[in-house]
Amino acid sequence: MVKKLIAGNWKMNGSLAANEALLAELLQGLGQPGCDVAVAVPAVYVGQVQALLQGSAIALAAQDVSAHDGGAYTGEVSAPMLRDFAVRYALVGHSERRQYHGETDALVATKAQKALAAGITPIVCVGETLAEREAGQTEAVVKRQLAAVIHAVGACVTEIVVAYEPVWAIGTGKTASPEQAQAVHAVLRAQLAAASTQAAKVPVLYGGSMNAGNAEQLLAQPDIDGGLIGGASLKAQDFLKIIAAAA
Ligand SMILES: O=C(CO)COP(=O)(O)O
């Protein structure tokens, strides 16, 4: 069985003061978690949060990573730069990046490669829009998104994390039902298994309005190995309850 991973995605939220208060409350309530825990913070706060998490059970994650190693790419942050701050995971291909920044499957695959090359675990986000779901394209969309990454990383597929985040469930309060989520997770698991005999150890997380009230049921599904949590990760007590549900 895969050790569960609960990752918070703060998105573009926080401040020096708010981050410090949130992490203090989290660390106070955390104890020895029965699962892996991470927080994905805005790039500008990576240094601050690294210092605050030193020696703790919470790993540091970035929300994105450049597809380039360095050079004339204004505004970008490279994987080696993130690694300098002990960043352990990086989200790649979050739907908000695909949607608002035009990120393609090919770009996301390159980002996953760059993360891996720097010793950072990419959390590869896939998910269909409402229109795609209603058109019966869910399976085709998530498989296409994951296939690009599998093809690019080759044998390193065992080193990635996958997050299924139906776009219609993100920030909407509309969670996929445990059965809906499990059905897609099973598809992703089969795709990973076809790529590697070791694929059973690749955690497949669910994200999209996961909260303290619905986490336990979602996490009880056989192919849901954790969560990627937006809104509820900004409230320490809610995030702690989700972590407890995964343990
Ligand atoms: O996008 C998400 C995590 O990456 C999910 O966000 P919410 O939990 O706010 O729906």
CB contact set of 119 (below 8 Å; sequence gap of 6+): 83
* Host domain of residue 148: 5-246
Domain of 185, CATH number, reads 3.20.20.70
Return the pLDDT at 173: 84
Once rounded to an integer, what is the mean pLDDT over residues 71-88?
A: 98
Return the pLDDT at 3: 86
Predicted confidence band of residue 199 (pLDDT cuts 50, 70, 90): confident
Question: Is 185 in the active site?
Answer: no
Q: pLDDT tens digit string along 23-63? A: 999 999 999 999 999 999 999 999 999 999 999 999 999 99
Q: Does the beta carbon of 230 sit less than 6 angstroms from any atom of ligand 1? A: yes
Q: What does the chain come to in residues?
A: 247
- Given a cut of 70, whether residue 102 has pLDDT beyond it is yes
Q: Where are the beta strands (DSSP E) in 93-240?
A: 121-126, 161-164, 204-207, 226-229
How many other CB atoms are there within 10 angstroms of residue 27's CB atom?
Answer: 15
Provide the token pair at 186: 């099973």
List 25, 94, 96, 134, catalytic entry: 94
pTM over 0.95: yes
| Secondary structure letter of residue 246 according to DSSP | H
Return the pLDDT at 2: 76
How many domains are contained in the chain?
Answer: 1
Q: Cβ-count burial of 143 within 10 angstroms (0-12 exposed, 13-18 middle, 19+ buried)?
A: middle
Return the pLDDT at 1: 66
Percent helix, percent strand, percent coil in the chain, to nearest 5: 50, 15, 35
